[in-house]
Amino acid sequence: MTVVMKFGGTSVADPDAINRLIGIVRQQQTRNGSAPAVVVSALAGVTDKLVAVARLAEDGEVDKASAELHALLDRHVRVASAITSDSRAATLAHVGREFEELIGLVHALAVLREVSPRSLDAVLAVGEIVSSRIVAAALADHRVAAEWVDARKVLTTDAEHNAAAPNIVETDDRVRERVAPIVAGGTVPVLGGFIGAAANGATTTLGRGGSDYSAAIFGASLEVDEIQIWTDVDGMLTADPRIVPQPHVVPQMSFAEASELAYFGAKVLHPSTILPAVAKNIPVRILNSRRPDNPGTLITADGRPPGSELTAIACKRDVTVIDITSTRMLMAHGFLRRLFEVFERFKTPVDVVTTSEVSVSVTVDDTRRLEAILDNLRNFAEVGCETEMAIICAVGENLRLDAALFSRAVTALERIPLRLVSQAASRRNITFVLRSSDVPHAMMRLHETFF
């Protein structure tokens, strides 16, 4: 059995976490008799810090940015020194060089007071470059044959900086050339997640949380038997543990269910992770790196009809609702096309849509181009807009089979003002749009009712 193993930030946060990672990789290799490919995130919190550094540069705060970067460098030096032995000097040299370049880049950005999406990618990528260097060295020093592979030379993307899309054909070729032979030779390739490069060589990133996606892309190219996402919870839970205390682990679910949950806020999986897995029908397993013997959550094409009525609930905050009321007749032909063309033109995805005879309501969570969208819609409709809303999404294959589940969900929320309610044709989910401030209460009510 061949696998890709992705370790998130908390699973590489410090020397103890990296030690656990080494044990997990070694056990996997012994059990399977073949080398896994390993994909790692930046050390916990590092990407957030790098985002903050970029903001400081934008504000021209050279000294503060530089202080943050030196603190980050110190942290990496401490971790690398503690976890490596034979390759310590070489690893520290790599880390030092990356930070030296980064400090130079940030200094230049701070002088210009301008951080373009392309520069931001160059800054953020350093987190994954140095973490993957450290993990590759640590594995090798602990007698697990491992080789660092520069993910930017493998994962080829378009040039949509900060949210790049992979070029699968090109990436497949590069994986075959640069990664597959390492695995075939019994050595563990270690790659940074989240990062890639556009055709012109510029560093790109796949969007926050994108290491899961990288792992799935590499896994699909390598045609592995399983894509493993190692994180800090026991699997996909019935609800976000930061909102609902003590949710349960869902042992199995379908690709479709996992996609919906990831899309609607289950942070444990980047929303695009499932796509490459579906394309090659590769199971995805979510596992806890602190409790490696737990079975985790297995995500497959069929899933397993869950014992419980719903599979899980997820929520997404900071959503904006836009109400578009036709000044003429809503269903006049061409109206919906015109309406959605506006969102398309401004590259803004719409999540939930509901209609009445005279109006259409949609939700968006990317508000970067909101003003332009509203202006354009006003050319042919009356437009209203409400911020600080949220989406709650209840997911389960059983929703298709048992019509009563829908009404029980609505009843569970009876005292909470619901702005929109929708159930799409797949009938695998119900989405509720409500005020952000009502989310905790609503999530608890649904969780109590169904789990």
Residues engaged in binding ligand ASP (CB under 6 A): 8-9, 41-42, 47, 127, 193-194, 208-212
CB of 236 to ligand ADP, least distance (A): 5
Does 131 contact ligand ADP by CB under 6 A? Answer: no
Does 219 contact Mg ion by CB under 5 A? Answer: no
Task: From 109-117, 194-202, 206-214, 217-225, give the range in contact with Mg ion by CB under 5 A.
Answer: 206-214
Count of C-beta atoms within a 10 Å radius of residue 301: 12
CB of 419 to ligand ADP, least distance (A): 22
The one among 2, 3, 5, 9 contacting ligand ADP by CB under 6 A: 9
Contacted by 91, from ligand ADP, ligand ASP, Mg ion, none: CB < 5 to 8 Å by type? none
Does 192 contact Mg ion by CB under 5 A? Answer: no
Does 271 contact Mg ion by CB under 5 A? Answer: no
8 vs 276, beta carbon nearer Mg ion: 8
Contacted by 233, from Mg ion, ligand ASP, ligand ADP, none: CB < 5 to 8 Å by type? ligand ADP
Mode of pairing for the β-strands spanning 37-40 and 188-192: parallel
Contacted by 10, from Mg ion, ligand ADP, ligand ASP, none: CB < 5 to 8 Å by type? ligand ADP
Does 242 contact ligand ADP by CB under 6 A? Answer: yes
Question: Could you give the CA distance from residue 48 to residue 68 in angstroms, rounded to a whole number?
Answer: 11
Contacted by 236, from ligand ADP, Mg ion, ligand ASP, none: CB < 5 to 8 Å by type? ligand ADP
The one among 206, 268, 287, 373 contacting ligand ADP by CB under 6 A: 268
CB of 281 to ligand ADP, least distance (A): 23
Contacted by 219, from ligand ADP, ligand ASP, Mg ion, none: CB < 5 to 8 Å by type? none
Contacted by 208, from ligand ADP, Mg ion, ligand ASP, none: CB < 5 to 8 Å by type? ligand ASP
Does 193 contact Mg ion by CB under 5 A? Answer: no
233 vs 381, beta carbon nearer ligand ADP: 233
C-alpha torsion sign, points 56, 62, 66, 69: positive
205 vs 429, beta carbon nearer ligand ASP: 205
Say what angle helices 46-58 and 117-141 make with each other, to 10 degrees.
150
98 vs 438, beta carbon nearer ligand ASP: 98
Compute how many residues bind ligand ADP; rule: CB under 6 A. Answer: 20
285 vs 428, beta carbon nearer ligand ASP: 285
91 vs 231, beta carbon nearer ligand ASP: 231
8 vs 265, beta carbon nearer Mg ion: 8
3-state SS, one letter per residue, for the chain: CCEEEEECHHHHCCHHHHHHHHHHHHHHHHHHCCCCEEEECCCCCHHHHHHHHHHHHHCCCHHHHHHHHHHHHHHHHHHHHHHCCCCHHHHHHHHHHHHHHHHHHHHHHHHHCCCCHHHHHHHHHHHHHHHHHHHHHHHHHCCCCEEEECHHHCCEECCCCCCCCECHHHHHHHHHHHHHHHHHCCCEEEEECCEEEECCCCEEECCCCCHHHHHHHHHHHHCCCEEEEEECCCCCECCCCCCCCCCCECCEEEHHHHHHHHHCCCCCCCCCCHHHHHHHCCCEEEEECCCCCCCCEEEECCCCCCCCCCCEEEEEEEEEEEEEEECCCCCCCCHHHHHHHHHHHCCCCCCCEEECCCEEEEEECCCCCHHHHHHHHCCCEEEEEEEEEEEEEEECHHHHCCCHHHHHHHHHCCCCCEEEEEECCCCCEEEEEEEHHHHHHHHHHHHHHHC
286 vs 412, beta carbon nearer Mg ion: 286
CB of 51 to ligand ASP, least distance (A): 9
Point out which residues bind ligand ADP (CB under 6 A).
8-11, 41, 209, 231-233, 236-237, 239-242, 266-268, 312, 314
